[in-house]
């Protein structure tokens, strides 16, 4: 019978090799071979190895359709062999029939214990392209097995549903972080903990003695951005700048009509607006902007060190000076209910009154950012995308290959926001238009984000064009439609008002949808996550909690009261350590556009990937050139610093 040459590539990661015995069964149009051992003298399947074997099937199986890879414990008599069942990471398998071209079978999976894995030849296939019954059955069986492994559960009512697992220890190796990533993550956390423990701060529940003490304590591991924040945090221009390019650059919107519950007057804002204009004139010109934290109204607060914490739902009015002048704050109201106990604070007020009002806004920014922009939109929603992908798209599908409030208060915020979260907010061009911020100057999140959105969209358009020749082909892809439907029902709880599609009828709609998924799981996450330590290490700039209630009158604030309002020492340390861990990507980085797992074997998608990488390199050069001229660079959307997906 004809022989086959089998070439096997083992991953390079720590622990990727195995002592177990590996065999393959070749499945063809005429039948299936028994397991054919991949064996030779010496140890096989070491980490990083690419090895050749020769197998001879007992009979002709016809045109090759599938390969089954089997892993079983070695013979007990083998010396130095570890206990049976060690994991193995297979990158790919290449099968070369006698006198024919090689067939590549991408794998990029861990095999644990004694088990088998079915691999398909690497050409991506839509469901309606598989005509052979064996291939059709393989698709069904793969998805059925995944749906049994990855199940949905409701963690908290009103939240997006999530993976039904109680602990990370139970996760399949194929969806866990790598050993390198986890090791770096915990080493960095342990180092920061030890340093603060030695300084006696982790157990200190009292107040900070002074701003100087705070600066002295957190002098470790400062970045240039942290230094800048320490120097400029009290300035009005920097306060306003952070609405554009800080941790949460997605709330600011143009204001043409003041909310009725924010009664700002001409007299209040005249010192900033200057002569020859008025509040109404600036509203009509579109030079005023609003940031409203109304979702925080009535949300329960936490208890820290036995003390209840406080929260507000402030509103901030901002003014864009003519030309390229800086964005500046005009007025702040610390509640949604105006009145004698809720004064409107102004830049002309006493220094400590105004600074305390801005600090309350920054506390609201912390809460909204961590609960909604970061946790909900950059973690919980991407988890929905990932879980639906695992459950509804087989490996051979082209889309699979592209791919101070306390817990109670956070939960309430997420439940509230889930009723408002809509499709346009997840699509950057639509979001920018809806907020009316297309032309506000020096908005680097928008500028860099739109470039990356465009590059992703072009890449997705090319890939969709390869595999979907028409709108009808989109509608006929049952796996694709099940994927979209499951994201709508499980992630957005079937809420029609979200505007999220439950079906896709055109290639254009599919391109936008896939671009949205990729952008939110990569660039958006980087923009709202990577700068957490930079902007929050100097705690007064972004306090996670407030220990005293908000002021109800002016003229009472002093430095002592300001310090007493800020979080206690131990709570500050806890948050700074957590944000340092969350800001700095551990090892095993995979930047946007980098696909070390070569699922695509066809030439056309490989060309599209190369073009995508080239475009991202151009964007990176533009961003780095601009950043050289900025006092505070904006690096968070520089493509080499963006992970392919949420990774921390």
Q: Got the DSSP string for 583-608?
A: HS--SS--BTT---S----SHHHHHH
Residue 76 pLDDT greater than 80, yes or no: no
Beta-carbon neighbour count of residue 50 at 10 Å? 11
Query: In this predicted structure, what is the pLDDT of residue 198?
Result: 46
Binding residues for Fe cation: 374, 379, 525, 648
Tell me the sheet residues that pair with 317: 290, 331
Residue 42 maps to a domain: yes
Residue 85 pLDDT greater than 90, yes or no: no
Lowest mean pLDDT among 68-82, 411-425, 491-505, 510-524: 68-82
Rounded to whole angstroms, how far apart are CA atoms 74 and 82? 9
Q: Nearest to residue 402, comparing CAs of 393, 391, 414?
A: 393
Residue 44 maps to a domain: yes
When the pLDDT of each residue in the chain is averaged and rounded to a whole number, the result is 88
Residue 505 pLDDT greater than 70, yes or no: yes
Query: In this predicted structure, what is the pLDDT of residue 270?
Result: 94
Pairing of strands 152-153, 162-163: antiparallel
Mean pLDDT of the 328-350 span: 96
* Sign of the dihedral defined by the CA atoms of residues 107, 119, 138, 594, in that order: positive
Rounded to whole angstroms, how far apart are CA atoms 465 and 253? 36
Cα–Cα distance list, 633 to 70, 221, 430, 626 (Å): 52, 18, 26, 8
pLDDT cut 90: percent of the chain above it: 60
Residue 190 pLDDT greater than 70, yes or no: no
Residue written as token pair 């020769």: 54
Query: In this predicted structure, what is the pLDDT of residue 191?
Result: 54
Query: In this predicted structure, what is the pLDDT of residue 1?
Result: 62
Residue 186 pLDDT greater than 50, yes or no: no
- Domain range holding 33? 1-71+86-120
Residue 332 pLDDT greater than 60, yes or no: yes
Mean pLDDT of the 521-528 span: 93
In 522-585, which residue ranges form alpha helices assigned H by DSSP?
Answer: 523-529, 532-536, 559-565, 569-583
CA 257 to chain centre: 34
User: Could you write out the DSSP letters of every residue in 216-275?
Assistant: HHTTTT--HHHHHHHHHTT-HHHHHHHHHHSS-TT--EE-SS--TT----HHHHHHHH-T
Query: In this predicted structure, what is the pLDDT of residue 585?
Result: 60
Lowest mean pLDDT among 77-91, 199-213, 419-433: 77-91
Residue 396 pLDDT greater than 70, yes or no: no
Using 50, 70 and 90 to split pLDDT, how confident is the model at 336? very high
Query: In this predicted structure, what is the pLDDT of residue 185?
Result: 45
CA angle (150, 156, 158) in 5-degree steps: 105
Lowest mean pLDDT among 163-167, 237-241, 548-552, 636-640: 163-167
Residue 114 maps to a domain: yes
Using 50, 70 and 90 to split pLDDT, how confident is the model at 140? very high
Residue written as token pair 């500028």: 447
Query: In this predicted structure, what is the pLDDT of residue 590?
Result: 83
Using 50, 70 and 90 to split pLDDT, how confident is the model at 524? very high
Query: In this predicted structure, what is the pLDDT of residue 644?
Result: 84
Using 50, 70 and 90 to split pLDDT, how confident is the model at 199? low
Q: Which range, 84-88, 109-113, 158-162, 438-442, is most confident?
A: 438-442
User: Could you write out the DSSP letters of every residue in 387-423?
Assistant: HHHHHH--TTSHHHH----HHHHHHHHHHHHHTT--H
Residue 128 maps to a domain: no
Mean pLDDT of the 123-136 span: 90
Residue 568 maps to a domain: no
What residues contact residue 138 under an 8 Å CB cut-off, 6+ apart?
66, 118, 120
As a 3-state breakdown, the chain gives helix, strand, coil percent values, each rounded to 5, of 45, 15, 40
Tell me the sheet residues that pair with 103: 95
Query: In this predicted structure, what is the pLDDT of residue 577?
Result: 78
Determine the 3-state secondary structure of 131 from DSSP. coil
Residue 401 pLDDT greater than 60, yes or no: no
Query: In this predicted structure, what is the pLDDT of residue 77?
Result: 44
Query: In this predicted structure, what is the pLDDT of residue 563?
Result: 93
Residue 84 pLDDT greater than 50, yes or no: no
Residue 607 maps to a domain: no
Evaluate whether 497 touches 420 at the Cβ level (below 8 Å).
no
Using 50, 70 and 90 to split pLDDT, how confident is the model at 572? confident
Determine the 3-state secondary structure of 36 from DSSP. strand
Binding residues for Ca(2+): 15, 17, 39, 86-87
**CB environment 453-481: b (16+ within 10 A), e (fewer):** bebbbbbbbbbbebbbeeeebbbebebbb
Query: In this predicted structure, what is the pLDDT of residue 566?
Result: 93
Rounded to whole angstroms, how far apart are CA atoms 25 and 118? 9
What residues contact residue 374 under an 8 Å CB cut-off, 6+ apart?
528, 529, 532
Q: Strand 50-55's sheet: what is its strand order?
A: 50-55, 4-10, 88-97, 103-111
Residue 101 pLDDT greater than 70, yes or no: yes
Binding residues: 15, 17, 39, 86-87, 374, 379, 525, 648
Rounded to whole angstroms, how far apart are CA atoms 336 and 413? 16
Rounded to whole angstroms, how far apart are CA atoms 577 and 569? 12
Residue 259 pLDDT greater than 80, yes or no: yes
What is the H or E stretch that residue 179 is in?
helix 179-198
Evaluate whether 150 touches 385 at the Cβ level (below 8 Å).
no
Question: What would the pLDDT profile of 408-461 be if each residue is shown by its tens digit?
Answer: 777 888 888 888 899 999 999 999 999 999 999 999 999 999 999 999 999 999
Both tokens assigned to 177: 């972080």
Greater confidence (611 vs 220) lies with: 611
Residue 359 maps to a domain: no
Lowest mean pLDDT among 92-96, 202-206, 208-212, 475-479: 202-206
Residue 44 pLDDT greater than 90, yes or no: no
Query: In this predicted structure, what is the pLDDT of residue 176?
Result: 63
Beta-carbon neighbour count of residue 285 at 10 Å? 12
Q: Which CATH number goes with the domain that contains 6? A: 2.60.60.20
Total domains present in the chain? 1
Query: In this predicted structure, what is the pLDDT of residue 181?
Result: 46
Query: In this predicted structure, what is the pLDDT of residue 90?
Result: 94
Evaluate whether 42 touches 95 at the Cβ level (below 8 Å).
no
Mean pLDDT of the 291-310 span: 90
Mean pLDDT of the 289-312 span: 91
Residue 99 maps to a domain: yes
Query: In this predicted structure, what is the pLDDT of residue 96?
Result: 94
Residue 400 pLDDT greater than 80, yes or no: no
């Amino acid at each position: 019978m004809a022989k086959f040459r089998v070439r096997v590539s083992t991953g390079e990661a720590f622990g990727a090799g195995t002592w177990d015995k590996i065999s393959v069964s070749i499945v063809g149009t005429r039948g299936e071979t028994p397991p054919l051992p991949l064996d030779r003298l010496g140890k096989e399947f070491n980490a990083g190895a690419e090895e050749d074997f020769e197998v001879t099937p007992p009979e002709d199986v016809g045109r090759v359709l599938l390969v089954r890879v089997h892993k079983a414990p070695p013979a007990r008599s083998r010396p130095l062999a570890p206990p049976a069942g060690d994991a193995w990471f297979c990158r790919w398998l290449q099968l070369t029939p006698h006198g024919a071209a090689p067939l590549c079978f991408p794998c990029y999976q861990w095999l644990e214990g004694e088990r088998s894995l079915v691999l398909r030849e690497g050409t991506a296939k839509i469901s309606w392209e598989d005509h052979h019954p064996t291939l059709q059955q393989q698709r069904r069986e793969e998805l059925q097995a995944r749906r049994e492994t990855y199940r949905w559960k409701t963690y908290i009512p009103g939240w997006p549903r999530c993976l039904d697992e109680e602990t990370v220890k139970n996760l399949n190796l194929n969806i866990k972080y790598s050993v390198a990533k986890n090791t770096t993550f915990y080493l960095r956390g342990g180092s920061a903990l030890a340093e603060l423990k030695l300084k006696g701060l982790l157990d200190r529940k009292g107040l900070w003695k002074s701003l100087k003490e705070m600066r002295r304590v957190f002098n470790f591991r400062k970045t240039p951005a942290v230094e800048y924040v320490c120097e400029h945090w009290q300035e009005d221009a920097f306060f306003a700048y952070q609405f554009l390019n800080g941790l949460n650059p997605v709330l600011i919107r143009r204001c043409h009509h003041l909310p009725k519950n924010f009664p700002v007057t001409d007299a209040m804002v005249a010192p900033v607006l200057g002569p020859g204009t008025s509040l109404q004139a600036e509203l009509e010109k579109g030079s005023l902007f609003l940031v409203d934290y109304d979702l925080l109204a009535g949300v329960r607060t936490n208890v820290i060190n036995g003390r209840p914490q406080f929260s507000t739902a402030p509103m901030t009015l901002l003014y864009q000076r003519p030309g390229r002048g800086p964005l500046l704050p005009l007025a702040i109201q610390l509640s949604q209910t105006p009145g004698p106990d809720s004064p409107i604070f102004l830049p002309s007020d006493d220094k400590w009154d105004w600074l305390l009002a801005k600090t309350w806004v920054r506390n609201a920014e912390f809460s909204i950012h961590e609960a909604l922009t970061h946790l909900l939109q950059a973690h919980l929603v991407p988890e929905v995308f990932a879980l639906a992908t695992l459950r509804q798209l087989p490996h051979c599908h082209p889309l699979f290959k592209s791919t101070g409030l306390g817990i109670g208060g956070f939960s309430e915020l997420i439940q509230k926001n889930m009723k408002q979260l809509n499709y346009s907010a997840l699509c950057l061009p639509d979001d920018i238009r809806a907020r009316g911020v297309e032309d506000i100057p020096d908005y680097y999140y928008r500028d860099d984000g739109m470039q990356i959105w465009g590059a992703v969209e072009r890449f997705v358009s090319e890939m969709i064009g390869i595999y979907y020749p028409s709108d009808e082909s989109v509608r006929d892809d049952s796996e694709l439609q099940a994927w979209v439907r499951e994201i709508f029902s499980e992630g957005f709880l079937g809420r029609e008002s979200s505007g999220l599609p439950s079906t896709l009828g055109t290639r254009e709609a599919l391109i936008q949808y896939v671009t949205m998924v990729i952008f939110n799981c990569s660039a958006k996450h980087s923009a709202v996550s990577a700068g957490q330590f930079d902007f929050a290490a100097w705690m007064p700039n972004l306090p996670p909690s407030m220990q005293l209630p908000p002021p109800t009158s002016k003229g009472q604030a002093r430095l002592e009261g300001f310090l007493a309002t800020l979080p206690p020492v131990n709570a500050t340390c806890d948050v700074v350590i957590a944000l340092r861990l969350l800001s700095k990507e551990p090892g095993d980085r995979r930047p946007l556009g980098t696909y070390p797992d070569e699922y695509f074997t066809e030439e056309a998608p490989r060309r599209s990937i190369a073009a995508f990488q080239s475009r991202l390199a151009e964007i990176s050069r533009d961003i780095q050139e601009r950043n050289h001229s900025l006092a505070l660079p904006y690096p968070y959307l520089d493509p080499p610093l963006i992970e392919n997906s949420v990774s921390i």
